[in-house]
Chain A
Amino acid sequence: MRMIAGRILALLPVLFGLCVLSFLLLAAVPGDPVTAMLGLEADPIAIAALRAKYALDDPLPLRFLAWFWQVLQGDLGRSIQTGRPVTAMIGSALLPTLQLALAALLVSLVIAIPAGVVAATRRNGPSDFAASLIALCGLSLPSFWLGILLIMGFSIALPLLPSSGHVPFLADPWEALRHLALPALTLGAAMAAATMRMTRATMIEILSADYIRTARAKGLPGRRVVWRHALRNALMPVVTLVGLQLGQLMGGVVVTESVFSWPGIGKLTVDAIFARDFPVVQGTILVTATLFVLINLGTDLLYTVLDPRLRNRR
């Protein structure tokens, strides 16, 4: 408990730093941010109203404190474009993003874990070479290009899956899955490459451990030794990597959502940037980065729960 409390406390300055940086991003807009938002031809009364609303004539530290106080109360301001509260906009975009992130995670695990295990058990064989080569290529493949190739293959050449859009799962589960397939595969493939490499490396190490030799000597079937005895322990570092990747996914969705017009937080961010809707940009960046930090903390804590040696360490 002390350790968990310590980790959470150590996070507070980082979260405060995130707030400062997210605020400064808007303050860094060259020239007058109100003119940048409304354009040069804007009505002077509208400009004055917006300047008053954001207290832009106040000194920067005072503006930050006022904004920070609002953020602490869960108020990220209102969209300039739609007038809707930013928190509500983020709230409705968050669900599709989480749906996509979890589907991508599932895709990556389904590909990576069996491939990593097979590569490790047939080390230096043709399947190991093929799996390692594919993983290396996967790490170098820009995800948006893979997305475009998948659209060309499965939406244009073979019109099997839709290339864009989102259908809520409860409205039509089959259509929801069809719309989810390509973006999840795009995002999951990049994750799978790293997870596969990690699974392979840890499996190789564990397969040479004494207790595996003992299990084999006792006459346990090979499959049982690999999948139940070795894999269970090999998954420890993989869990950490997957957790960290889940955090990275929060950034990766920005591009994938734009390719597939997926109405998540990434697309909301990019659309807001083009609309110069800075409260939305500020809000999405702050929320995504906070989620990223919290997911990383969750991974750390999960690792401690899974590994009793870390739990007892002072």
Chain B
Amino acid sequence: MSAIAMRAPLWLRLLRDPRAALGLGLVVLVLLGALAAPLLPGAETPDFMATLAAPDATHWLGTDDLGRDTLSRILAGARVSLLVGLCSVGAALLLGGTIGLVAGFFGGWVDMVLMRLMDVLLAFPGILLALGITAALGASVTNTVIAIAVVNLPVLARVARGQALALRELDYVKAQRALGFAPLTILWRAVLPNALSPILVQASVLLAASIITESYLSFLGLGVQPPTPSWGNMLRDAIGFLDQAPWLAWFPGLAIFLTVLGFNLLGDGLRDRLDPRD
């Protein structure tokens, strides 16, 4: 790759990679859809004259058993899915990142205690841990965020710890120590900025996984509760109408698939572009 290409901004380098560009396009589309959701009424307005209507010019993606417009509900569901995904990954990033950086930077017993705790969380299959937490706390948007954040926590803590372990041995960090800076100052000023890229890449990959986990929980009836639409609870409702109104199952599933595909492609692209060997 030429020196000019190396100096190109990240978004431009992402756009030059067809797969990452497709991922970015899908993510932007979902974001725009979520932003446009309030412009399309009908997500929670029943119309008993148009129940289980097939897709047509009035209702592009059909209606459900209460006559609610599927497209409006999918767009409203995008808001919920993105909100839960972003909040849960954001919370895990803040807490898991801090735990990992502190564990890796300080080492010793701090590292041992914190990482054994993370090992216990990692010992649970993600969906099962999320199920257990929502079962204990109750089903709601907030508790779904908490459950998914706890599932993501150890993954981000491990990545952050690995970065801190590598960075603390570098000369410029040792130099700050020799100059007498406080450990937390060094962590904040020298370690964090340089550890951030791989942690953010992992976070972008976790966004896709978090959206799937939210849809699993909502599908099982333990995540976002009706009447608030989420892609998972829309699919749960669709189960009863598979033979009469199959579109109720097609479109929310397609929305999850395309969103997750978008974040996966974008995450792959980010990882490749932020790789120093790129």
Which chain A residues have a beta carbon within 8 Å of chain B's beta carbons?
A: 13-14, 17-18, 20-22, 25-26, 28-30, 136-137, 139-142, 144-145, 148-149, 151-152, 156, 247-248, 250-252, 254-255, 258-259, 269-270, 273-274, 281, 285, 288-289, 292-293
Contacts and interface: CB of A to CB of B under 8 A. Distances in A.
A274 B221 contact: yes
Interface of B: 116-117, 119-121, 123-129, 131-133, 135-138, 208, 212, 215-216, 219-222, 235, 238-239, 242-243, 246, 249, 253, 256-257, 260-261, 264-265
Contact of B125 (A17, A151, A273, A288): A288
A288 B253 contact: no
Given A14-B119, A30-B137, A140 B261 contact: yes
Grouping DSSP codes into helix (H, G, I), strand (E, B) and loop, the A interface class, with mixed when no group exceeds half, is helix
28 contacts: A14-B120, A14-B123, A18-B123, A25-B135, A25-B136, A26-B136, A28-B133, A28-B136, A30-B138, A139-B264, A141-B257, A142-B216, A144-B215, A144-B219, A144-B235, A145-B249, A145-B253, A145-B257, A148-B253, A149-B249, A156-B246, A251-B126, A251-B128, A254-B127, A254-B216, A255-B127, A269-B128, A273-B135
Contacts of A139: 264
Contacts of B256: 142, 145
Nearest to A273: B135
Given A13-B119, A18-B123, A285-B131, 16 more contacts: A28-B133, A29-B136, A137-B257, A140-B208, A140-B264, A142-B253, A148-B235, A148-B249, A152-B246, A250-B125, A251-B126, A254-B131, A255-B216, A269-B131, A270-B220, A273-B131
A111 B99 CA distance: 40
A148 to B, nearest CB: 5
B260 A152 contact: no
B125 A292 contact: yes
Nearest to B120: A17
Contacts of B121: 21
Contact of B131 (A151, A248, A270): A270
Contacts of B126: 251
Contact of B260 (A30, A140, A144): A140
